[in-house]
Amino acid sequence: MSMDETSFPALTDGETTAYRGPQSIPPSDVSDPTIRGQAWNIIESVLDDATPQSEWAREQLRSRMESNPGNPERALLEHLMATRSITGQESDDSEANLPSPDLPVPDEDYGATVLFTRRSRRRIEAILGDRMLLTAFQPIHELSTRDVIGVEALTRFVSDDGASADHWFNEAAAVGLGPDLEFAALQAALVAAEQLPENVYVALNLSPATCLDPRLRAFVEHSRLAMDRLVIELTERLAEDEYDPVVTALAPLRLRGLRVAVDGAGAGFGSMSQVKHLSPDIIKLDRNLIAGIDHAAGQKTLGAAMVEFARQIGADLVAEGIETQAELTAVMDLGMAFGQGYLLGRPSVQPLDWAAWRTAADEEAFTSGSGGPAN
């Protein structure tokens, strides 16, 4: 049994109004739990926002719909890409910098710390209530066979400021809604993943706080995906006192086939301490280790050591962030079996793109270079 779109509690109330998009009408059941269903729901939410500040976003989305009749997924994707270009623009909301009376005001020295404002909380609540997010998948390849064996689920937000996913999650955490937003993203990813081939696993980015949340077990158990297709990829470094609780919380799910991945390995002592305590099934090497590995002797030495370390503890090793043919050749020569990166496949919300990933890899990444992992 799968969690439906209404199983995650909305935090704001709102009235559903008629769709006002040009030249296209949504299907009769816009709650359809597919990528197209997600797209229609988000498009409706954007077009139903009658605030003057969002008029430019509505006009842009209408234009994208006119350019892509009958293809709401492509129209929404183009809208997302366009909105990201204005991330740096300042809001003219006079309340934007007014601190909430019931939240602490951050010190000016915090710099990049997200402002604790009433407006921030309302923004997150609107995302949660309207489900204005969707899932992109980036492929993970078995380098020797060229097969896509897994994907990483990445959240994309629909907003009029084009803010990045990291910004949204940081802002949610700052106002006490971090786990709620992560669970909304998790639900969207689990539903979208039903469109993937059954032999592909799904890596889900979760914070330690969400791993400790009792809701997690119900979310994964109610998914239509087999437990052995699910991988929890920890997105943050754990504090020393978090290791035992996280290990304990995930143990019952791991016994049923769920796997754990540690991200950013090889970037420092903290990442290796995490590997030591969590005994992960998958180790993902940090992008900074992979970038330029083809001509950096020190990185090659560390990469070779990580290959041997992963072999000894029985973990799969994924080279993350492969962007050049030279990097691909280098990691394969070192014996790294799995890889992910723009060279092999970019994140996509399109099921048609998922089907074409292997062809793209054949043409772009494997036409020259190493014949396979070193023995």
Burial class (CB in 10 A: 0-12, 13-18, 19+), 308: exposed
Q: What is the mean pLDDT of residues 105-123?
A: 56
Beta-strand relationship, 147-157 and 282-285: unpaired
What pLDDT, on a 0 to 100 scale, did the predictor assign at position 50? 65
Dump pLDDT digits (tens) for 236-289.
778 888 889 999 999 999 999 999 999 877 665 556 778 888 999 999 998 999
Report the distance separating Cα 131 and Cα 38, nearest Å.
8
What pLDDT, on a 0 to 100 scale, did the predictor assign at position 42? 74
Report the distance separating Cα 58 and Cα 159, nearest Å.
11
What pLDDT, on a 0 to 100 scale, did the predictor assign at position 307? 95
Report the distance separating Cα 168 and Cα 178, nearest Å.
9
> Are 309 and 291 within 8 A, CB to CB?
no
Which of 93-102, 263-272, 294-303, 347-356: highest mean pLDDT? Answer: 294-303
Q: At what angle do helices 35-47 and 72-84 cross, to 10 degrees?
A: 60
For 177, residues 6+ apart whose C-beta sits below 8 A from its C-beta are: 11, 121, 124, 125, 128
pLDDT greater than 50 at residue 28? no
What pLDDT, on a 0 to 100 scale, did the predictor assign at position 123? 85
pTM over 0.85: no
pLDDT greater than 70 at residue 141? yes
What pLDDT, on a 0 to 100 scale, did the predictor assign at position 317? 96
pLDDT greater than 60 at residue 295? yes
pLDDT greater than 50 at residue 10? no
pLDDT greater than 90 at residue 315? yes
What pLDDT, on a 0 to 100 scale, did the predictor assign at position 3? 37
Domain boundaries along the sequence of the chain: 16-85, 133-364
Q: Note the maximum CA span of the chain.
A: 63
% residues pLDDT > 70 (the chain): 69
Dump pLDDT digits (tens) for 48-91.
766 655 666 777 778 878 877 777 777 777 666 655 444 344 33
Confidence band, pLDDT 50/70/90 cuts, at residue 98: very low
The per-residue pLDDT of the chain, averaged, comes to: 76
Report the distance separating Cα 126 and Cα 129, nearest Å.
5
DSSP of 302-368: HHHHHHHHHHHHT-EEEEE---SHHHHHHHHHTT--EEESTTT---BS-HHHHHHHHHHHHHHTSSS
pLDDT greater than 60 at residue 360? no
What pLDDT, on a 0 to 100 scale, did the predictor assign at position 140? 97
The two structure tokens encoding residue 336: 């790294």
DSSP of 86-132: TTTPPP--TTTTPBPTTSPPPPGGGTTPPP-BHHHHHHHHHHHHHT-
Burial class (CB in 10 A: 0-12, 13-18, 19+), 127: buried
What pLDDT, on a 0 to 100 scale, did the predictor assign at position 242? 87
What pLDDT, on a 0 to 100 scale, did the predictor assign at position 352? 82
Q: What is the mean pLDDT of residues 298-306?
A: 93
DSSP of 183-230: HHHHHHHHHHGGGS-TT-EEEEEE-HHHHTSTHHHHHHHTSSS-GGGE
What pLDDT, on a 0 to 100 scale, did the predictor assign at position 17? 32
Dump pLDDT digits (tens) for 332-359.
999 999 999 999 999 998 878 877 765 4
pLDDT greater than 70 at residue 367? no
The alpha carbon torsion through 226, 227, 230, 235 (nearest 10 deg) reads: 150
What pLDDT, on a 0 to 100 scale, did the predictor assign at position 83? 55
Dump pLDDT digits (tens) for 164-185.
888 889 888 888 888 999 999 9
Look at residues 44, 148, 119 and name the one whose alpha carbon lies nearest to residue 365: 148
The two structure tokens encoding residue 113: 């710390």
pLDDT greater than 80 at residue 222? yes
CB neighbourhood size of 126 (10 A): 17
Backbone dihedral angles phi then psi of residue 143, each to the nearest 5 degrees: -70, -30
| Distance (Å) of CA 237 to CA 43, 291, 343, 370 | 36, 22, 27, 34
Q: What is the mean pLDDT of residues 289-298?
A: 94
What pLDDT, on a 0 to 100 scale, did the predictor assign at position 186? 95
What pLDDT, on a 0 to 100 scale, did the predictor assign at position 374? 39
Q: At what angle do helices 178-192 and 35-47 cross, to 10 degrees?
A: 130
For 341, residues 6+ apart whose C-beta sits below 8 A from its C-beta are: 290, 319, 320, 321, 322, 323, 327
What pLDDT, on a 0 to 100 scale, did the predictor assign at position 43? 77
| CATH superfamily assigned to domain 133-364 | EAL domain (3.20.20.450)
The two structure tokens encoding residue 326: 């030279």
